[in-house]
Amino acid sequence: MNSETITMAHGSGGLASQNLLRELILPNFSNPALDELNDGAILNVKSKIAVSTDSFIIRPIFFPGGNIGKLSICGTVNDLAVSGAIPKYLTASVILEEGFPIDDLKTIVASMSKVAREVGIQIVTGDTKVVERGSADGIFINTTGIGEVIDGVNLSPRNVQAGMKILVSGFLGDHSAAILSSRHGLETNLESDCAPLSKLTQEMLATEKNIAAMRDITRGGLAEVLNEIATESNVGILIDEEKIPIRDEVRGVCEILGFDPLNLANEGKLIAFVPSESAEKILDTMRKNPFGKNACEIGEVVTNSRGRVGMKTSIGSIRVVDFPPGELVPRIC
């Protein structure tokens, strides 16, 4: 690379684009489909696939526990994982602002490469566009993932029934709290939980194929995902405040900045709705995985209050947990 920042020519499709691709992208992601450099990658897959897409616009792009590159892989991998699929292939499309430091791009691409290798997912095709200074904010990344659905697995809110237990894979709110701390200059030891959950979900499904539904707990937090499931499944949900794992530092950030920890985004946590009789067995499996070591049960599916989410508070009353309101934490992913 001759220049040290991105120029419009890097997005032109001409020689500078070719060089960026050949010097920076291909050495990190080499695989047969990508190396062909065709307009489309040709892939062999099982006949039942899961597909998910996400654009990442997080600020700051480098944050405690990760960066936009790592996040862009984990986010899409996790969507495939909670769909009951084994992540196989990924596309990556980057929009860069003119003037973006090439060293930062190298760091981001290296993070993408590292976590993709950990997951065993191949980046098979991509795209780079450049816009003028002031027309974007540094870098945006879209990833779209393709996974092969595990045989015999069928995860859907429709399977969720009264009596099922609700499990979460660990402490909630770390991602949002770390980002908020970073933005507001709060001194904490918090790190984003940004992590790929596909091995965890595969282990859970190997333990119990009849898990009813899983979700990763991202934008809108636990409140969002519980309300979505309650609405889509037309069940009632009752969680127990004292069982919800939230770090004291996260509670502290929430108190200072006026957030409800139930609304905070995570980037490496999932929720699972499981048959009551399998709950302990699944928790045992989860706790053996580094990304599930603090897994716990937080409540259950109930017959009353269909479509609604209630929380037993520490003083014994029941508080309604609503969908998060409009303006939450912007640009959290």
Under the binding rule (CB under 8 A), the answer on residue 216 touching its own copies is yes
Q: Determine the distance from the C-alpha atom of residue 279 to the mean position of all C-alpha atoms in its chain, rounded to a whole number.
A: 23
Under the binding rule (CB under 8 A), the answer on residue 156 touching its own copies is yes
Instruction: Give the max Cα distance, the chain.
Output: 67
Under the binding rule (CB under 8 A), the answer on residue 38 touching its own copies is yes
Under the binding rule (CB under 8 A), the answer on residue 317 touching its own copies is no
Under the binding rule (CB under 8 A), the answer on residue 24 touching its own copies is no
CB of 45 to its own copies, least distance (A): 6
H-helix or E-strand spanning residue 216: strand 213-216
Question: With respect to its own copies, which residue has the nearer C-beta, 198 or 285?
Answer: 198
Q: How many residues bind its own copies (CB under 8 A)?
A: 84
Backbone angles phi, psi at 301, to 5 degrees: -90, 135
Return the sign of the alpha-carbon dihedral for residues 96, 97, 99, 104.
negative
DSSP labels, 183-213: HHT------------HHHHHHHHHH-TT--E
Under the binding rule (CB under 8 A), the answer on residue 323 touching its own copies is yes
Under the binding rule (CB under 8 A), the answer on residue 104 touching its own copies is no
Helix orientation angle between 174-184 and 248-257, rounded to the nearest 10 degrees: 50
The span of 135-143, 200-208, 235-243, 297-305 binding its own copies (CB under 8 A) equals: 135-143
Give the residue, chosen from 50, 86, 105, 178, that forms a contact with its own copies under the rule CB under 8 A: 50
Under the binding rule (CB under 8 A), the answer on residue 304 touching its own copies is no
Under the binding rule (CB under 8 A), the answer on residue 228 touching its own copies is yes
Under the binding rule (CB under 8 A), the answer on residue 166 touching its own copies is no
Question: With respect to its own copies, which residue has the nearer C-beta, 70 or 249?
Answer: 70
Under the binding rule (CB under 8 A), the answer on residue 82 touching its own copies is yes
Edge-first strand listing for the sheet containing 122-131: 122-131, 85-97, 139-149
230: tokens are 């309650």
What Rg value do the Cα atoms of the chain yield, rounded? 21
| Strand pairing class (318-320; 270-274) | unpaired
H-helix or E-strand spanning residue 96: strand 85-97
Q: Which residues between 272 and 301 bind its own copies (CB under 8 A)?
A: none
CB of 139 to its own copies, least distance (A): 11
The span of 10-18, 111-119, 199-207, 282-290 binding its own copies (CB under 8 A) equals: 10-18
Cβ atoms within 10 Å, residue 70 = 24
Give the residue, chosen from 67, 72, 83, 182, that forms a contact with its own copies under the rule CB under 8 A: 83
Under the binding rule (CB under 8 A), the answer on residue 129 touching its own copies is yes
Q: Determine the distance from the C-alpha atom of residue 66 to the mean position of all C-alpha atoms in its chain, rounded to a whole number.
A: 12
CB of 307 to its own copies, least distance (A): 14
Q: Is omega for the bond preceding 32 within 30 degrees of 0, making it cis?
A: no
Q: Which residues between 235 and 274 bind its own copies (CB under 8 A)?
A: 265
Question: With respect to its own copies, which residue has the nearer C-beta, 141 or 274?
Answer: 141
